[in-house]
Every structure is written in C-alpha cells, then in structure tokens.
Amino acid sequence: MTRSATPGLLIALAVLIAGLLLAFTVGRYPVGLADLFNVIAAKLTGRAADVPAAVENVIWQVRGPRVLAAALVGAALAVAGTAFQGLFRNPLVSPDLLGASSGAALGAVLGIYFSLGVFAIQAFAFAGGLVAVAAVYMIGSAVRTRDPILVLVLTGVVIGSLLGAGVGLVKYLADPYNQLPAMTFWLLGSLAATSVADLVPLFGPVAIGTLVLVALRWRMNVMSLPDEEARALGLPTGPLRIVIVAAATLVTSASVATAGIIGWVGLVVPHIARTLVGPDFARLIPAAALLGGGFLLVIDTLARTVAPIEIPLGILTALVGTPFFIWLLASVSKTWSS
C-alpha cells in the first residue's frame, strides 16, 4: 500500500466510524456517547452495563441490527459499483446495469403478491437478481461481436426494461389496500423492519462476493484495460468477466433482498473513493466499502429522524445522487483517467 493512499483510507474509515456513532446515538430515543461506550465495553468484558435497561435495549435490540444492515448494504452496493465501473471502464455505471435490481424487484413483488412470508420474499428477490443477470449474460454471450461489453450493457438495458414491465404488471394486479402499499414501500428501499435474523442471509453472500473481488483485485486492474491488451498480458478475459459479474451480482442481490431498491450508492460512492485513493483496486475496494457503509448509515439516520414518518432510503439517496450525477457528467472526462 502506497503512502499516498493512506490518508484517503483513513478518511474513509473516519466516515464509517462517524456514521456508526451517529446511527447509534441519534433517534427518537437519544443515546449519549458515554452510554454507548459503556454498553459496548460491558458486552466486551462480560460485566453488567451501568446504564438503564432501556438504553441497552435500544442499542442492541432496536438499532443494532439496523445499523449493521445499513453498513453491510452500503458497503456491498459500493463494492459492486466499483467492480462494475472498472469492468465496463465507465464511472457512470451502477450495480443494477445488468438487471440485478430489476430481477430482485420482480422476485420480491411476486413474493408479496402470493402473500409469502418475509424470508420467502427475500429469497425470491435474491434469486430474481441472480437469474436476471444470468439471463443477461447468456443472451449477451450468444451474440458474436467484437465488443462484448457493449452487448452486455445493451442486453442489460433490454432485460431490465422487460423486468420493470413485469413489476408494473404485478403491481397492477395486486390488492390496492394491502399488497400494493407493501410493494411500493419495498421498492423505495427501507431498513425499518430489519432484525437479527436478516443479518445472516445478508452477511454470507456479501462476505463471499466481496472476498472474491478482493482476491481478484490485481486482475481487475488489468481488466480495466481494453480486452486485447488484457489478453496480451495473459488474462482469460471471458472467464474472469463471468466471475467478477457473478461476485458483484451476489452482493447486489443480497443487499436488494434485505433493503429493497436503494439507488445511487453504487454510482456515487465508488467515484468518491477513486478520488481519495486512486484507481488501484487493492485500495479502491476497501475504501469504497468503508465509504459506502458510512454513507448509507448517515442516509438511514436521516430517514428515521428528519420527518415525523420514516422516509424511504431510495428517495434520500436520489436527492443526494442526482446533483452529484450532474456534476459527474460534467467532470468525468477529466477525472476518470487521473
């Protein structure tokens, strides 16, 4: 790790720590920093916490699962966005480019339409994301062309539109009093109902996909080059592309299955991370994970505190992401190659 990357990683770590402290202490039931550290120290040492039982319950039972889920989802979306932007050599690419979010959305609304349980809805969403990207990749691979990346992008757009139409059809057929509000709430993204049981199916896929991408970090640097140059350096670009897409899709589908559709994180955060630590994936992936976790923690804290009712996460990320995207469009030609 070069010395120049250290300040950027420290800034990303500081963002995550600040997001964690903010998420644990701010809310309808404020918790002081002293009480928070007291409860954490008591848990680590095995002694009884010197705080009211209500404070300990808020930290571990109410906010704990939600805070961990927000950090994991934010990190996962940021890492997936980083991988896709490098693979497609375009800083304007997001994790839902190949239809993962659209497939997960269709799976989730089908689960709600058939009145399935929460776990089954999450399983449908997870499977929908994986199946959608697999379909995009199989269709794109069947088309013989000199630019396979462009074919994948176009196929992803087409399949995403088809899946979006499927979501619209299911919403049209749904019960407008019970099912439709649940579908709308899920599609806008939220961590309001997160429990400890949601963390295990979220953590496993996110950890596996992220570890795969970290293990491929040096090859991902080479994959950022044109295919001809990457093959000249001895890399099997086809199989590597499949592995990278599969790993990024795995973490994206797990995140969408848990939190719903949360846009912009995978677009905005990787670009900020690249500004802090440069384009080397050995530094870029951990920086994006730290920033993504901290970013979504701040957004989730705002979602549950700035209004009398909870604001969906997708709305807040869009409010932040839209002006950033406009700025990014204006500056991308100057910053992507730096």
Set out the domains of the chain in order of their start, with CATH numbers. 5-335 (1.10.3470.10)
The four Cα atoms 167, 172, 175, 177 give a dihedral, to 10 degrees, of 100
Give the span between the Cα atoms of 173 and 175, in whole angstroms: 7
**pLDDT number for residue 151:** 84
Contact 216, 254 (CB under 8 A): no
Whole-angstrom distance, CA of residue 284 vs CA of residue 218: 11
Cβ(58)–Cβ(29) under 8 Å?
yes
Count other Cβ atoms within 10 Å, centred on residue 235: 17
What pLDDT score does 322 carry?
A: 84
Q: What percentage of the chain has pLDDT greater than the value 70?
A: 95
In this structure, what is the dihedral angle of CA atoms 252, 255, 259, 264, given to the nearest 10 degrees? -40
Q: Cα dist. 52→35, 55, 171 in Å? A: 9, 5, 45
User: Whole-prediction pTM value?
Assistant: 0.90
Cβ burial, residue 69 (10 Å; 0-12/13-18/19+): buried
Q: Which positions of the chain have pLDDT values less than 70?
A: 1-5, 328, 331-338
C-beta separation of 193 from 319 below 8 A:
no
